[in-house]
Amino acid sequence: LIGAAVRTDTHRTAIIEWLPPQERQKEIKNRRGWEKHDVVYQATNGRHGAWVLRHLVAMVQKKDSKTQEAALSSLGALAMDNPSVANILTKTPTLEAPVPALNLVLTHAKSRVTSVQLAASLCATHIIRAQGNHYPGHLDHTAVLTVIHVVNRILSSTSEQPQSQIKACYTLYSLVRDEKDICVEAADQGVLASLASLVKSITPIENSDGWEIDEPDSRVSLREAALKAIAAISLFDKVIKREVADTYDLIPIIQACLTEKNVGVRCSACHCLRSLSRDTAVIKTNITDSGAGMALYQVFKKEDEDVRVIAASLATVCNLVNDFSPLRKVMLEDGLLPRLMQLFGMEDQEIRVSVLWAIKNLLAKSQSSTKDMVMQHLGWSQLPDLANDSDPEIQEQAFAILRNLTDDETGVSLVFESMGGDTLANCLSAGLDSPHELVTRETTYVLGNIANSSRSQQDLMFTHPHILDGIHHCLADARPGTRVPLVGCLLTLLRTNPRRKRDLIEAGFVSTLRHLCERSGGGGSGGGISVGGSGSLAMSTSPVGPRHHMHLYHLHHPHRHMICPEDDREAAVLAKQVLDLMDPSTIGEML
């Protein structure tokens, strides 16, 4: 019951902290009034506390396989996304077992009973991932390999029941999801080959029209699960994507599954194409040449489609409209923008964010005519509202759209003319004041683009003091990933508009920049770092960051909050250059 019913953190906490009435009284008597021991202490010291966990660990050691399976499922459900419980089960011997519970779980993964193997593998997966997500870089490699080997054996076996293979697929999905290193390890161990062979054996594309005639539900469910696992394992690594597309030639099967009656299969097929479309080469060749891209686009356009399939296909479209995609122009000419605006009117926030993501990618490296067309549909009057939206993800995408609109001087002029200086200034101020780092960072890139434009447009930052104040505040308090483009923006301003040196000095930037150099151990001449001039396309070398911004869509957005360890160093190098331009004597011999 615990394994099947527990779904939320609240459920887990309630069960973990539960005590039978008699145990509750003992716990109260044995504890001083001010003491409240955490669950780790309770599990390791005495018979009282963490009652459910301790009894489940004891049940895992029983001889009966059904009891073992039930206890393993329950432990896994309680450990899922729960680092404190995972920590107990990984590192803490209890009175019920002389070794950590994970050791017992992995032993059962080698059971002769398949259902026990699967329960143990899923339990181990939840423990591994709960720990790994909470302590990055601390994945238990041995435990990961144990689970992979169990799953691979079941997937590659011709004698296993479909239900067992379905469970193996979902266990694999839970293990590899959003974790690149485990994806690569699983592929290296032959899991991808097993999945490819499995999905081919149950998906006869030569006669796809006859799939649904007397096809067992178990086969349909297995097809869905296998595709979902393939999507997860191929999300990050380019080699794996190309194995899926070329070595195993799975795109025809994925394309055929886009039209299957079962919603889950269609959704999983969309997720596969989303993963594969994060690679430029696969988009340009396999997805375009096979017709799979346009097949997915037709699914995306269906107004009566299930919302889950719409969300998955939209996430793929976000990748297919990047500037390097041959399908961008085709989709634009085939009603893409009206469909996006129709979806943007939905109440589903995930879909609304994805629509803005698609628009952002449409605008990346786009011609002025494309920018005009896109903004006619989105509406210039709506952009300020989006930049001030209560949802930070909406805000982030709004500023990313502004960033791509202003990727050259013509684009900057278009934004100034269409929004007006005051409205634009208010949006930029709101972005700089945002407590959400990703919103602030996108705002700084817009400022960097304006800094690369004409002097009259640069003056926006100085005629609206709240913008300059916001920049100053962010320099002092923002994370390194935001400070780098901000300092680069100041450097561009001073190089192209030296008369503004006095404004920056009077606004107090000297002491802030000096402090940035000091705390970052700044030094060096900053050689090799250059600021792209107005309209420059060599944006990878520009400290204000790329003028345009595109992003291959990943639904869970992993690693987007990671900061490069070199960012502080780069910010310090740029800060020294700004100080030297303001007045070399202000920094003296400090660096």
Q: How far is the C-alpha of 191 from the C-alpha of 189, rounded, in Å?
A: 6
Average model confidence (pLDDT) across the chain? 84
pLDDT at 506: 87
Residues, the chain: 591
Residue 344 confidence class, pLDDT cut points 50, 70, 90: very high
Is the pLDDT at 474 greater than 60? The verdict is: yes
Query: pLDDT tens digits for 364-407?
Result: 999 999 999 999 999 999 999 999 999 999 999 999 999 999 99
Is the pLDDT at 587 greater than 70? The verdict is: no
Set out the domains of the chain in order of their start, with CATH numbers: 2-116 (no CATH), 380-591 (1.25.10.10)
Long-range contacts of 539-544 (CB under 8 A, 24+ apart): 542/448, 542/488, 543/484, 543/485, 543/487, 543/488, 543/491, 543/570, 543/574, 544/445, 544/448, 544/449, 544/451, 544/452, 544/485, 544/488, 544/489, 544/491, 544/492
Is the pLDDT at 95 greater than 90? The verdict is: no
Pick from 124-138, 259-273, 418-432, 503-517: least confident: 124-138
How would DSSP label each residue in 12-65? HHHHHH---HHHHHHHHHTS-TT----HHHHHHSSSSS-HHHHHHHHHHTSS-H
- Residue 513 has which token pair? 């920049």
- Average pLDDT over every residue of 113-139: 86
Is the pLDDT at 56 greater than 50? The verdict is: yes
pLDDT at 548: 58
CA 409 to chain centroid = 32
HEC secondary structure over 397-418: HHHHHHHHHCCCHHHHHHHHHH
Residue 460 confidence class, pLDDT cut points 50, 70, 90: very high
Q: How far is the C-alpha of 160 from the C-alpha of 173, rounded, in Å?
A: 19
Q: How far is the C-alpha of 298 from the C-alpha of 481, rounded, in Å?
A: 39
Is the pLDDT at 564 greater than 90? The verdict is: no
The DSSP call for residue 390 is S
Q: How far is the C-alpha of 433 from the C-alpha of 145, rounded, in Å?
A: 46
The DSSP call for residue 8 is S
Is the pLDDT at 58 greater than 70? The verdict is: yes
Is the pLDDT at 119 greater than 50? The verdict is: yes
Is the pLDDT at 524 greater than 50? The verdict is: no
CA quadruple 180, 185, 186, 190: dihedral positive or negative?
positive
Exposed/middle/buried for residue 462 (C-beta within 10 Å: 0-12, 13-18, 19+)? middle
Closest to 512 measured CA to CA, from 560, 578, 455: 578
Pick from 84-98, 150-164, 321-335: least confident: 84-98
Q: How far is the C-alpha of 282 from the C-alpha of 254, rounded, in Å?
A: 14
**What Å distances lie between residue 407 and 14, 324, 359, 393, 399, CA to CA?**
52, 17, 15, 21, 12
pLDDT at 94: 61
Alpha-helical runs (H) found in 92-250: 101-108, 114-134, 141-156, 162-176, 180-188, 191-201, 217-233, 238-242
Residue 48 confidence class, pLDDT cut points 50, 70, 90: very low
- Average pLDDT over every residue of 479-491: 87
pLDDT at 549: 60
| Single pTM value for the model | 0.85
Residue 8 confidence class, pLDDT cut points 50, 70, 90: low
**The residue to which tokens 């070794």 are assigned:** 99
Is the pLDDT at 526 greater than 50? The verdict is: no
Q: How far is the C-alpha of 175 from the C-alpha of 144, rounded, in Å?
A: 8
Amino acid in position 495: R
Is the pLDDT at 562 greater than 50? The verdict is: no
- Average pLDDT over every residue of 195-207: 89
pLDDT at 244: 97
Residue 553 confidence class, pLDDT cut points 50, 70, 90: low
**The residue to which tokens 């913008």 are assigned:** 467
pLDDT top residue among 439 and 576: 439
Torsion of CA 88, 91, 93, 98, to 10 degrees: 140
Strand-pair partners of 94: 97
Query: Could you tell me what percent of the chain has a pLDDT over 70?
Result: 79
Residue 572 confidence class, pLDDT cut points 50, 70, 90: confident
Q: How many other CB atoms are there within 10 angstroms of residue 508's CB atom? A: 14
Q: How far is the C-alpha of 396 from the C-alpha of 481, rounded, in Å?
A: 15
Q: 325 φ, ψ to 5°?
A: -85, 130
pLDDT at 476: 84
Pick from 199-213, 301-315, 459-473: least confident: 199-213
Query: pLDDT tens digits for 157-173?
Result: 999 999 999 999 999 99
On whether the CB atoms of residues 5 and 11 are closer than 8 A, the answer is yes
